[in-house]
Amino acid sequence: MIIMKKMILTTLTLLCVSATIFAQSTPSAVTAAFNQKFPGATNVKWDKENVHNYEASFELKDGKYSANFSDTGTWLETESPFSFTLLPEKVQTAFNTEHKGATIIAISKIETSKGEIKYEVEIKSGKKTVEVFYTTEGKEIKE
């Protein structure tokens, strides 16, 4: 009886470990699409964003990036490092007007598969970190 219980427990443990490993793996279609789009990427780390989306965090020669892909390997968007001085003038003006004196932590350019471009400005607001998004025309958008 004790041997049977140990065998059942061992089998259940192996099934749980296998299910966890399987659930955390990135589909080959996703990694193949990523490798084709970003052949020079290094230090790639994958996260599952939701049931159908995966996010790769990685480095290219000019900085740290992230890119999202559907579970079928369709590229959705890329987030790349950016500089305040390179932002469109309308975005700079809107930010300086709406968030005067805010401490900027990071800026990213987001390009989507729909051909859209938006900018993310991560700022320190009191003790919180806040992400503010802008269109290329300087309109603040809610995400």
Q: Check residue 24 and give its pLDDT.
A: 58
Q: How far apart are the C-alpha atoms of 22 and 14, rounded to whole Å?
A: 12
pLDDT tens-digit series, residues 41-53:
999 999 999 999 9
**Main-chain dihedrals φ then ψ at residue 23, nearest 5 degrees:** -65, -30
Classify 12 in phi/psi space as left (phi over 0), alpha (psi -120 to 50) or beta. alpha
Per-residue pLDDT at 116 exceeds 90 = yes
Q: Check residue 143 and give its pLDDT.
A: 76
pLDDT tens-digit series, residues 15-43:
443 333 334 599 999 999 999 999 999 99
Per-residue pLDDT at 88 exceeds 50 = yes
- Label residue 5 by pLDDT band (50, 70, 90): very low
Q: Check residue 120 and give its pLDDT.
A: 97
In 5-84 the beta strands, taken as DSSP E runs, fall at: 42-50, 53-60, 63-70, 75-81
Which domains can be identified in the chain, with CATH numbers?
82-143 (3.10.450)
Q: How far apart are the C-alpha atoms of 127 and 74, rounded to whole Å?
A: 37
